[in-house]
């Protein structure tokens, strides 16, 4: 949290990114982004799912 992902993410598209797992290994994750509003302010909902076992 609090740091940038470092690549452009396109709304409503699934993108795979490299992630650093708790055990120190590099894995793969799917990330999806949806734009919405929260308290009348623009906000992003971000879903990150570890898919390392699929690769």
According to the model, what pLDDT value does residue 55 have? 64
Q: Using one digit for the tens of pLDDT, what is the confidence trace for 2-32?
A: 666 655 566 667 888 888 988 999 999 998 8
- Please give the Cα distance from 24 to 9 (Å, whole number): 24
pTM, full prediction: 0.61
According to the model, what pLDDT value does residue 50 have? 92
Say whether pLDDT at 35 is over 90: no
According to the model, what pLDDT value does residue 37 have? 94
Sign, CA torsion 11/3/7/26: negative
Say whether pLDDT at 38 is over 90: yes
């Amino acid at each position: 949290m609090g740091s940038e992902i470092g690549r452009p993410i396109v709304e409503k598209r699934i993108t795979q990114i490299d992630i650093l797992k708790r055990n120190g290994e590099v894995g793969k994750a799917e990330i999806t982004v949806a734009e919405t509003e929260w308290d009348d302010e623009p906000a992003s909902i971000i879903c990150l799912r570890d898919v390392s076992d699929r690769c």
